[in-house]
Every structure is written in structure tokens, then in C-alpha cells.
Amino acid sequence: MGKFSAYKVDLIGMRQDVQKIEYLLDTQFFTNIESEDIQKGEVKVTLTVTRVDEVFVFDFKLNGNVTIACDRCLEAMDFPIDTTAKLVVKLGAEYAEGADDVVVIPEREGFINIAWFLYEFVALEIPLKHVHPAGQCSRSMMSHLKKHVVISDTDDVDDDDSNEGVDFDDDIEIVEDIDIEEKSEGKHKILTHEETIELILGMHERQKQLDKEKKLKSKI
């Protein structure tokens, strides 16, 4: 049995004009579909299929939570999913996806696998920028970040709160490791969002390595 065989909906064999099906998109589902963003999840799906002649209207209701990485501190954060979606499925000669969420399924097959559609419905609910609410980011990661970055408008930074004041939408600068002379002259490099993420990942990995070394030394 395939990983997503449970998500096949038999169109030809549908005996009632209206059919309800329920699914649970759990962590294994997101692992199987090889999601890059969603680490864990528990999303309940209620699907109502209504048949009108040779047209099948799929109405979806999705409700639950997924776990994703915070863009600011990279730690896991829960994100609520509460949405609806619709597909119109028709039988035809070849598979095709048209405008207005219309999908054509080969009549010789007679079924549609909705696994990828379910994943897309969830993924589209996650905003491009997803961060913890103010004050809930990892203190250790934010502490490391504040040692290395300088926000353009320093008046907005509260030095007493290591969880706030760093926003990747602001211009972020970091002193380059060129040489002491150039640093003292105030030369800076403007980091892109991607470069900033790479910087944080590097610091995160370094901190993990330092913690590992401390544990090893304590055992010697």
C-alpha cells in the first residue's frame, strides 16, 4: 500500500450524490510528503463531495495546528490552521488543471488522489514571514543575534529585552571580519534576509558544538 493511498477518492464508484470523508494530517503525513517547512502537524480535514451529473464538487474544511520554524530565532513554533477550500473535479480524456480550481481526471482511472492538494491548502495558510509573538523567541538565540547585528534605527532597540528589537524586515548590518583597521573605520556589510538566516544557523550550530564540548569536558 502506498504512502498516500488513503487519500484516493473513487469517483466512478461513488453511489451517493453527497459523501463525507474525514482525514487527519499528522506528522507522518508531512514527513511522507517531504515538507521543507512543516516539521509536525495535526490537522483535521472534513471533505464533502457533491456529485452533480459528471461533475464532483469537493468542499474542504481544515482545522488544527502545524509546527514550523520561527524566522527570527529558528526555534519551533505552533501555527494554527483554520481554512476552507474547494475543488471542482471532472472526468475527461487526460489529466489537467484549469482555472478556478478545476481538475480533470482521466475517466479510465476514475479516481483522484487529494494528498498533494491537502498539503497545499495547509502550506498556503503559512505566511511568508512567520515569527513568535513578541517576547516568545529563544532568549539564547536572540542574545547571540544581538551581539552580531546592528539595527539601522537603534532607537527602536530595547537593550533590556533580548527577545525584542530584531526584525528581519529592518535593514540589518554586521561588521565584516576583514581586519581590525577596517572594523574601527566603521565599514559594514548589508545582509540580505537569506544571509542573515545563514548567519543565525551558523551561530546556532556553533552554540550546540560549544555545549557539546562543555559536556565532554565535564566528564573528563
Render pLDDT for 29-87 as a digit per residue (tens, 0 to 9).
999 999 988 999 999 999 999 998 889 999 999 999 999 998 888 888 999 999 999 99
Cβ–Cβ under 8 Å, residues 47 and 60: yes
Predicted confidence band of residue 163 (pLDDT cuts 50, 70, 90): very low
Q: Which whole-number Å values give the CA distances from 164 to 58, 77, 143, 145, 149, in the listed order? A: 44, 16, 10, 11, 13
Cβ–Cβ under 8 Å, residues 9 and 111: yes
pTM of the prediction?
A: 0.65
The four Cα atoms 166, 73, 29, 49 give a dihedral, to 10 degrees, of -20
The letter for the amino acid at 42 is E
- In this predicted model, what pLDDT tens digit does every residue of 3-26 receive, in sequence order? 899 999 999 888 889 999 999 999
Q: How far is residue 38's CA from residue 120's CA, in Å, rounded to a whole number?
A: 11
Q: Taking all residues of the chain, what is their mean pLDDT, rounded to a whole number?
A: 77
Residue 155 has pLDDT above 60, yes or no: no
Average pLDDT estimate for 143-168? 49
Question: For position 79, what pLDDT does the model report?
Answer: 93
